[in-house]
Structure 1
C-alpha cells in the first residue's frame, strides 16, 4: 500500500511540474518584451533575477526547460497557472544572453529588475 501511495504522489508531482513548464509555452509564442546580455554566468544570472523578482511576486519558479537553457517565471496565480512573466537565459560568449516574455501590464517592473543583473 505504501508503494502504491508513493507512486501516486510521484505521478501527481510530475504532472504538476510538467504543467508549470507547458503553461509558459504560451508566452514563448508571443513577441519578446525585452532582452539583454548579462556578464554573469547563466546560473548566477538566474539566481540574481530570482532575488530581484521575489520582492515583486513571492511565487517565482526556476527551472531548466532544456539542457542548455534556464528559466525563471512568475505564475499568474489564476486558475490557468499561466505565467505573466518569463525570462529565458542561455550561455553566450561574455556571460548570459536572455529574453523576457510577459504580459504587457505586468512585465515592465520585471524588465527593470532583470536589467539590474546585467
Structure 2
C-alpha cells in the first residue's frame, strides 16, 4: 500500500512539473513583449530578476528548460494554468541575453523590473 501511494505521488509530481514546462511553451509561441542584454552572468541575472519579480507576484518559478537556458516565470492561478509572464535567459558574448513573453498589459511592470537587472 505504501509503495502504491509513493508511486502515485511521484506520478502526480512528474505531471505537475511537466505541466509547468508545457504551459510555458505556449508563451514561447507568442510575440515577445521585451528583451535586452545584461552584463551579469545568467545565474546572477536570473537571481536578480527573481528578487525583483517576487514583490510584484509573490509566486515566482525558476527553472532550467535546457542545459544552456535559464527561465523565470509567473504562474497563473491554479496548478494547471499557463504562466502569465515568462523570461528566457541565455549566455551571450556580452553577458546574458534575455527575452520576455506575456500579455503586454500584465507584463509591462515585469519588463521594467527585469531591465533594472541590466
Normalised TM-score (structure 2): 0.95
Q: For residue 45 of structure 1, what is the aligned residue in structure 2?
A: 45
Q: 3-state SS of the aligned residue for 1:32?
A: coil
**Structure 2: which 5+ residue stretches go unaligned?**
none
State how far apart, in whole Å, the 2-side matches of 1:7 and 1:43 are: 33
Deviations for 1:57-82, whole angstroms, at most 9, x for unmatched residues?
01111011111111000012157511
Higher helix share: 2
**C-alpha distance in 1 between matches for 2:108 and 2:99:** 13
Q: Does 1:113 align with 2:113?
A: yes
The answer for unaligned runs of 5 or more in structure 1 is none
In the alignment, does 2:33 pair up with 1:33? Answer: yes
Distance 2:58 2:75 in 1: 10
Structure 1 length normalisation: TM-score? 0.95
Question: How is 1:24-103 mapped onto 2 (pairs within 5 angstroms)?
Answer: 24-77=24-77, 80-103=80-103
C-alpha deviations, 1:20-78, integer Å up to 9, x for none? 11101111001110100011111111110000000000111101111111100001215
> How big is the alpha-carbon RMSD for the aligned residues of Structure 1 and Structure 2?
1.2
Length, aligned pairs only? 118
